[in-house]
Amino acid sequence: MRSAPLGYVLSRAELGGIVYHCYAHGRDDAGGRPWLRREDSLNSAVAWMVQHEAELSALTGRLHPEPDEWPS
């Protein structure tokens, strides 16, 4: 079985363009997925997630698990 990801990058339409939001994998005490950062390009968003892997790992260790199992 694959391990769960540390986070996600999701695209959203904002102000006539596309932006990319970084989220942690897991749920906070309110049941939401923690938002981490907004970037203007997919490459920048993914690079930020890779560069902050240690912090993301520590954060996801403190979060509640996702309600749905990560697909295998």
pLDDT at 9: 95
Structural domains counted in the chain: 1
- Whether residue 53 is predicted with pLDDT greater than 60 in this model: the reply is yes
Report the percentage of the chain scoring pLDDT > 70. Answer: 93
Mean pLDDT on 20-35:
94
Residue 13, domain extent: 7-62
In a domain, 71, yes or no: no
Q: Which helix (H) or strand (E) holds 65?
A: none
In a domain, 67, yes or no: no
In a domain, 49, yes or no: yes
Q: At 39, phi and psi to the nearest 5?
A: -130, 155
Mean pLDDT on 26-55:
95
Do the bridges between strand 35-39 and strand 7-14 make them parallel or antiparallel, or are there none, so unpaired? unpaired
Q: What is the mean pLDDT of the chain?
A: 90
- Model's pTM, two decimal places? 0.83
In a domain, 29, yes or no: yes
